[in-house]
Amino acid sequence: MTGTGRTTTRDIARAAVRAELAQVAFELFRRDGFDKVTLDDLASAAGVSRSTFLRYFGTKEDAVLGAFEGQDQRVADALRGRPADEDDWTALRHALDTVIARYREDPDGALATTRLVRETPALCARHLEKQHGWGPALAQALADRAGSAEPPTLGQSVRAGAALHCLNVAIDHWTASDGRLDLVTLLDEAFAALSGR
């Protein structure tokens, strides 16, 4: 077996343990409330030591927000992969389908996670802080699409930030509807509202 195979196997095992710990944490947060659950409670419920839990998640918030890890890079990669003749706004809208895919694949799980994040001030603040970092990544992807060796323009940065705001507003409306409204339609409407259509 090559070094690459061992790394891949280790990564798969690590991801499986991480997912299991996250699921245990999520269920405990839903049952007892995020603020009432301690790191020791999480470790005990998962049947691991506190140090083992902290090896996978540095904070309680990370145990929930890990579900969103890597989305910024997936959206940026999708954005770079959009057709060259597509305008920035349309490309941004379609690139965000990578985020929406999770909501479509597991609407009940996505709704429960979104509610927990939105209704817990510490989680909401941390999530918004992390998502704030998406803007520069998306603006850079727009600059890359344009073939520019320069940093993103003000316009590219504004469009990236506006696209993320549209995503958040659409998700808020979807969550308020208990997942009954179609998230794709909501996101389309949010983008159309800013494009003047």
Instruction: Give 136-185 pLDDT, tens digit per residue.
Output: 999 999 999 999 899 999 999 999 999 999 999 999 999 999 999 999 99
Write the pLDDT tens digit of every residue in 20-65. Answer: 998 899 899 989 999 999 999 999 999 999 999 999 998 999 988 8
Same domain, 123 and 87: yes
Number of domains in the chain: 2
Does residue 1 carry a pLDDT above 50?
A: no
**Structural domain span for residue 33:** 3-62
- Select from 19, 37, 62 the last residue of a domain: 62
- Burial-class residue 180 by CB neighbours within 10 Å (0-12, 13-18, 19+): exposed
Q: Could you report the per-residue pLDDT of 76-124, keeping only the tens digit for each? A: 999 999 998 999 999 999 999 999 998 999 999 899 999 999 999 999 9
Phi-psi region of 87 (alpha: psi -120 to 50; beta: other; left: phi over 0): beta
What CATH number has the domain bearing residue 10? 1.10.10.60
The answer on 189 and 101 residing in a single domain is: yes
Q: What is the model's pLDDT at position 195?
A: 82
Is residue 3 scored above 60 in pLDDT?
Answer: no
Residue 188: burial class (beta carbons within 10 Å; 0-12, 13-18, 19+): middle
Three-class DSSP category at 84: coil
Model-level pTM?
0.84
